[in-house]
């Protein structure tokens, strides 16, 4: 919007210039104030490096004592400044101090197991600083404005705290202890007090007895020196590592007060249990020395075994690298094997064979009892029966030179030939009947128990082998394979007496007596003999060869 022009124009027709004192605008005072404000703002930002009404990452920690920590005191990690103290205040209604720290981004992240300590700075710096340890990376991280409990903070011990430990009561107690100790050293024991003491110290003051202990001190100190030397370790810095590890353990115990109380309670219970088993504990400690020596030898052998193990590990690396390829190559075979083991293949066959397998198992169990008996029979055949069948029987002019088992089967063949069905009368064995003056009695037969009689042209020579007069004992409890081969050509094979005969010229009254004797002899043979049992089991197909076969 244009305002009406009320001023004067110059000669060229332009607007007339306004005098300086008549001009309007910012006064010099305001401009100077604005300039001073801008300089103050820039100076504040330059030194404080903070934007008003904002703040960075803040962490709160509860200390037992603030210990001269003031706002703006530095916060350091490994000696590097990473922040400062913003505020120190009382932690609720307790006697502890709540310290608020503001940290730079370089200090992050801070973990839940972080620890803080108030430490004194060097003499030239003065005052104290907060030493921050961010914690382990495996622990959860803390957000801004989170609080670290007192169990994870600590303050330095001040000189006044050391002096307060020696108050008047404590000094008096110390004096009483020293006085009592001196009196105990100078006390002369009574007879009653010496009753339970060692004979070497009876009647002596405590100071004298204490001096006597120096006699045994060299050995004790020697053993103590050995123990102290062992505590130094076997490698450099073993002791320092032990102390550092112990410091970490003590720090962890300090952070976990409740668990430490439980540990002490459980330790008390464990100590009581050890006290109740002190006899076994002494025995265990006595056996500890040989156990340690054995363990040392074991560890030495392990150290010797490590180089070959490392060499084996290096050598097996190529095979391990080839293992994936081998597994991939085995996949087709595994696929085929899986199909082979399917329900329609081996799995089905195994299911069908299950009943047979059970029966086979029972058969195998029975075979364990059968095979020893079969073995006995086989050894009896090979060691006794078959060698007996190979013996050639010497029968004088009637000898054939064949093994006796062949003679047996030849007789069977002859009987079979005699019984051929060559006419209408059927299968009969025919013998040429004869007569003579001598009557032969057979004794009782199986046909009704009657005796058979016949006539012979000549008196029978006798029987071979001869009848021993009584049946040999049959011993089924004696092992057959251990028996000797019977001597078929020995004395027992001689010709025996002829059977009962009766001549026609003699009186017939003698016949009943002969028949009675024959019947009595036959009555003793009610059971089959051993020879009969063996004859049933003879092998007619044994390989000839022990005695050369002679042809007639």
pLDDT of residue 409: 87
Per DSSP, which regions of 50-127 are E strands? 57-63, 74-77, 80-90, 97-103, 115-120
> Both tokens of residue 281?
């504990």
Judge contact between 74 and 81, C-beta under 8 A: yes
CA atoms 173, 175, 178, 179: torsion sign: negative
- Annotate 369-380 with DSSP letters as a single string: HHHHHHHHHHHH
Assess if residue 368 is contained within a domain. no
What span, in angstroms and rounded, lies between the C-alpha atoms of 10 and 238?
Answer: 103
What span, in angstroms and rounded, lies between the C-alpha atoms of 292 and 238?
Answer: 20
CA torsion 277→280→286→289, rounded to 10°?
-90
CA atoms 47, 51, 52, 54: torsion sign: negative
Upstream peptide bond of 109 is cis (omega within 30 degrees of 0): yes
Instruction: Show the 3-state SS of 406-438.
Output: HHHHHHHHHHHHHCCCCCCCCCCCCCCCCCCCE
Pick from 5, 7, 256, 27: nearest CA to 151: 256
What span, in angstroms and rounded, lies between the C-alpha atoms of 63 and 122?
Answer: 22
| 113: exposed, middle or buried (Cβ count in 10 Å: 0-12, 13-18, 19+) | middle
Assess if residue 153 is contained within a domain. yes
Assess if residue 199 is contained within a domain. no
Judge contact between 541 and 406, C-beta under 8 A: no
CA 19 to each of CA 23, 222, 437, 479: distance values in angstroms, whole numbers, following the listed order: 7, 112, 206, 161
* Domain range enclosing 101: 57-160
Number of domains observed in the structure of the chain: 2
CA atoms 43, 46, 47, 48: torsion sign: positive
Assess if residue 248 is contained within a domain. no
- The size of the chain, in residues, is 552
What span, in angstroms and rounded, lies between the C-alpha atoms of 296 and 222?
Answer: 22
Q: Tell me if the pTM is above 0.85.
A: no
pLDDT of residue 539: 42
Residues 6+ apart with CB under 8 A from 510: 502
pLDDT of residue 46: 65
3 state DSSP class of 101: strand
Which of 103, 135, 160 corresponds to the end of one domain? Answer: 160
What span, in angstroms and rounded, lies between the C-alpha atoms of 323 and 6?
Answer: 105
pLDDT of residue 110: 92
Judge contact between 548 and 390, C-beta under 8 A: no
Other C-beta atoms closer than 10 Å to the C-beta of 416 total 11
Q: Facing residues of 158 across strands?
A: none
Pick from 148, 98, 114, 151: nearest CA to 258: 151
Which of 140, 160, 180 corresponds to the end of one domain? Answer: 160
3 state DSSP class of 148: strand
Assess if residue 397 is contained within a domain. yes
Assess if residue 263 is contained within a domain. no
3 state DSSP class of 313: helix
Assess if residue 82 is contained within a domain. yes
Judge contact between 377 and 536, C-beta under 8 A: no
According to DSSP, the β-strands at 147-148 and 451-456 are: unpaired
> Both tokens of residue 159?
């000189």
Q: What is the pLDDT along the chain (552 residues), one digit of tens a residue?
A: 444 444 445 555 555 555 555 555 667 777 778 788 888 877 766 665 555 555 678 999 999 888 778 888 899 998 889 999 998 998 888 888 999 999 988 888 999 999 999 888 775 556 788 999 999 988 899 998 899 998 899 887 666 665 665 565 667 777 888 888 888 778 778 777 777 777 777 778 888 887 887 777 787 788 888 888 777 777 777 778 888 888 888 888 777 777 888 888 888 888 888 888 888 888 888 888 888 889 889 988 888 888 888 888 888 888 888 888 888 888 898 888 888 888 888 888 888 888 888 888 888 888 888 888 888 888 888 888 888 888 898 887 778 888 988 888 888 887 777 666 655 556 665 555 667 788 887 766 666 667 777 787 777 777 777 777 777 788 888 888 888 888 888 877 777 766 554 444 443 333 444 434 444 444 444 444 444 444 444 544 444 444 434 333
Instruction: Show the 3-state SS of 446-483.
Output: CCCCCEEEEEECCCCCCCCCCCCCCCCCCCCCCCCCCC
pLDDT of residue 423: 58
What span, in angstroms and rounded, lies between the C-alpha atoms of 437 and 451?
Answer: 19
CA atoms 298, 299, 302, 307: torsion sign: negative
Which of 160, 185, 211 corresponds to the end of one domain? Answer: 160
What span, in angstroms and rounded, lies between the C-alpha atoms of 61 and 116?
Answer: 8
Assess if residue 46 is contained within a domain. no
What span, in angstroms and rounded, lies between the C-alpha atoms of 456 and 499?
Answer: 12
> Both tokens of residue 386?
């078959």
Judge contact between 86 and 71, C-beta under 8 A: yes
What span, in angstroms and rounded, lies between the C-alpha atoms of 310 and 304?
Answer: 11
| 110: exposed, middle or buried (Cβ count in 10 Å: 0-12, 13-18, 19+) | buried
Left, alpha or beta for 434 (phi > 0: left; psi -120 to 50: alpha)? beta
3 state DSSP class of 522: helix
Residues 6+ apart with CB under 8 A from 546: 387, 390, 403
């Amino acid at each position: 919007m244009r305002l009406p022009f009320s001023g004067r124009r110059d000669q060229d027709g332009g607007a007339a210039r306004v005098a300086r004192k008549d001009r309007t605008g910012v006064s010099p005072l305001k401009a100077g104030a604005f300039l001073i404000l801008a300089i103050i703002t820039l100076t504040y930002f330059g030194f404080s490096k903070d934007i008003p009404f904002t703040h960075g990452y803040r962490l709160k920690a509860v200390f037992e004592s603030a210990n001269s920590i003031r706002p703006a005191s530095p916060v350091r990690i490994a000696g590097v400044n990473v922040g400062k103290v913003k505020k120190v205040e009382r932690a609720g209604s307790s006697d502890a101090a709540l310290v608020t720290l503001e940290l730079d981004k370089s200090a992050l992240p801070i973990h839940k197991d972080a620890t803080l300590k108030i430490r004194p700075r060097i003499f030239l710096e003065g005052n104290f600083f907060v030493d921050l340890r961010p914690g382990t990376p495996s622990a959860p991280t803390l957000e801004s404005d989170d609080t670290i409990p007192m169990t994870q903070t600590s303050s330095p011990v001040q000189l006044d705290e050391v002096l307060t430990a020696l108050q008047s009561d404590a000094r008096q107690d110390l004096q009483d202890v020293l006085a009592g100790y001196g009196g105990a050293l100078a006390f002369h024991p009574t007879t009653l007090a010496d009753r339970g003491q060692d004979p070497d110290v009876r009647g002596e003051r405590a100071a004298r007895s204490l001096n006597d202990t120096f006699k045994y001190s060299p050995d004790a100190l020697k053993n103590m020196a050995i123990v102290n030397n062992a505590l130094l370790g076997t490698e450099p810095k073993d002791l320092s590592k032990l102390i550092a590890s112990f410091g970490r353990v003590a720090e962890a115990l300090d952070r976990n007060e409740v668990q430490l109380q439980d540990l002490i309670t459980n330790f008390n219970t464990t100590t009581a249990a050890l006290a109740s088993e002190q006899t076994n504990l002494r025995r265990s400690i006595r056996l500890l020395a040989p156990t340690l020596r054995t363990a040392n030898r074991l560890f030495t052998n392990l150290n010797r075994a490590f180089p070959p193990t490392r060499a084996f590990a290096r050598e097996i690396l190529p095979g391990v690298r080839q293992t994936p390829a081998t597994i991939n190559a085995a996949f087709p075979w595994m696929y085929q094997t899986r199909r082979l083991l399917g329900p329609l293949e081996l799995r089905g066959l195994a299911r069908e064979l299950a009943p047979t397998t059970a029966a086979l198992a029972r058969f195998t169990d029975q075979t364990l009892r059968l095979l020893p008996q079969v073995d006995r029979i086989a050894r009896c055949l090979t060691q006794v029966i078959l060698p007996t069948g190979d013996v050639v029987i010497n029968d004088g002019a009637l000898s054939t030179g064949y093994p006796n088992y062949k003679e047996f089967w030849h007789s069977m063949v002859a009987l079979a030939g005699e019984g051929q069905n060559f006419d209408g009368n059927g299968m009969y064995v025919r013998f040429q009947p004869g007569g003579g003056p001598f009557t032969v009695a057979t004794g009782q037969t199986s046909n009704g128990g009657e005796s058979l009689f016949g006539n012979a042209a000549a008196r029978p020579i006798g029987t071979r082998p001869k009848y021993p007069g009584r049946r040999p004992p049959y011993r089924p409890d004696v092992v057959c394979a251990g028996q000797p081969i019977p001597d078929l050509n020995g004395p027992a094979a001689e010709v025996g007496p002829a059977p009962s005969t009766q001549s026609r010229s003699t009186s017939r009254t003698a016949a009943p007596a002969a028949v009675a004797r024959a019947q009595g002899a036959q009555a003793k043979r009610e059971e089959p003999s051993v020879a009969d049992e063996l004859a049933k089991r003879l092998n007619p197909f044994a390989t000839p060869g022990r005695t050369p076969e002679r042809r007639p």
